[in-house]
A and B are shown apart, each in its own frame.
Chain A
Amino acid sequence: MKILVCISHVPDTTSKINFANGDTEFDTNGVQFVINPNDEFGLTRAIWFQEQQGATVTVVNVGGPETEPTLRKALAIGANEAIRINANPTDGFFVAKQLAEVIKNGGYDLIIAGKESLDYNGGMVPGMVAGLLGYNFLNSCVSLTVEGTSATASREIDGGKETVSTSLPLIIGGQKGLVEEKDLRIPNMRGIMTARTKVLTILEPVAASSETKAIKFEKPAPRSAVKLVSADNLDELISLLHNEAKVI
Chain B
Amino acid sequence: MSILIYAESAEGKFKKVAFELASYAKKIAESLGTTVTAITINAGDVSELSNYGVDKVLKVNNDKLSAFTAKAYADAIKQAAQKENAQVIVLSSTTDSLYLAPLVSVALDAGFASNVVGLPVNISPFQVKRTAFSNKAFNTTEISTAIKVLSISKNSYGIFENASSLTQEDFNPSIDDADFGVKVVSVEKASGKVTIADADIVVSAGRGLKGPENWGMKNWQPFLELQQLVQNLFLI
Contacts and interface: CB of A to CB of B under 8 A. Distances in A.
Interface string A207-248: 000111111111110000000000000000000000000000
Given A140-B99, A219-B137, A121 B181 contact: no
A92 interface: yes
Contacts of B110: 211
Contacts, number: 173
Contacts of A186: none
A218 B133 CA distance: 11
A98 interface: no
B99 A127 contact: yes
How extensive is the interface on chain B, given as a class? 35 or more
A51 interface: no
B105 A139 contact: no
A11 B142 CA distance: 23
A126 B185 CA distance: 22
B61 to A, nearest CB: 22
A134 B178 contact: yes
Contacts of B138: 217-220
A163 interface: yes
Interface residues of A, number: 55
Of B101, B139, B144, B195, the most chain A CB neighbours within 10 A belong to B139
Nearest to A16: B136
Contacts of B210: none
24 contacts: A93-B111, A119-B133, A123-B102, A127-B99, A127-B100, A127-B101, A127-B102, A128-B103, A131-B102, A131-B105, A136-B182, A157-B187, A158-B196, A160-B187, A161-B187, A163-B184, A163-B185, A164-B182, A211-B144, A212-B112, A214-B140, A214-B141, A220-B136, A220-B138
User: Which 6 interchain pairs have the tightest Cβ spacing?
Assistant: A127-B102, A131-B106, A160-B189, A211-B111, A159-B195, A136-B181
